[in-house]
Amino acid sequence: MATQQIDPRGPRFGAAITATLLAVSVFLLLDNSTFSLGAGVFTFVTLSFAFGAAFGVSAHPYGLIFKKFVRPSLAAPKELEDATPPRFAQAVGLFVALIGWVLQLSGVEFGFAIAAGAAFVAAFLNAAFNYCLGCQIFLGLKRLKVIR
């Protein structure tokens, strides 16, 4: 796999947008009157994860917004990072979102909201604390033989 190098602040910028959208969706999903709006936001985030997992974070619209509007006003990054760890995080996000879809469609109340809350925690930790999902869980999943 080609190892593309990116500005590490790009994925964190994207995670901040994702976290905000997920928090909003949790709020909207909790009430019947706004549920469909919340489901719309959750659908958007699910598609966004799918895009990030399939094409990588630098091709992602958030990455492009960062490159075009945010990065020019920032100092050069101290170091670049590999583009694959953030992509792995997007895939995990997609997996969590899809669990939400399964729960919701099988009739579990707040299925979307639970998944949105869980995905929010990961996105928030990434944006605010530079938490790296790939560092923390990849090896554990591998040792448990969840991934080959």
Partner 1 sequence: MSLELRLAVVVAIVAGAALLGVVWRVTSGRSRRIRDGKQVDLAELGVLKNGKPVDEFGSRLTFLQFSSEFCSQCVQTARILGELESQSDDVLHIEVDITNRVDLANKYQVLQTPTTLILDRRGVVKSRIGGAPKTSTLETEIGSFEI
Per CB under 8 A, residues contacting partner 1 are 8, 23, 26-27, 30-31, 79, 81-82, 84-86, 88, 117, 120-121, 124-125, 128-129, 131-132, 134-136, 138-140, 142-143
CB of 68 to partner 1, least distance (A): 23
Distance separating alpha carbons of residues 138 and 125, to the nearest angstrom: 16
Distance separating alpha carbons of residues 117 and 30, to the nearest angstrom: 11
81 SS3 class: strand
CB of 28 to partner 1, least distance (A): 9
Burial class (CB in 10 A: 0-12, 13-18, 19+), 101: middle
- For residues 68 and 143, which CB has a smaller minimum distance to partner 1 in the complex? 143
- For residues 72 and 129, which CB has a smaller minimum distance to partner 1 in the complex? 129
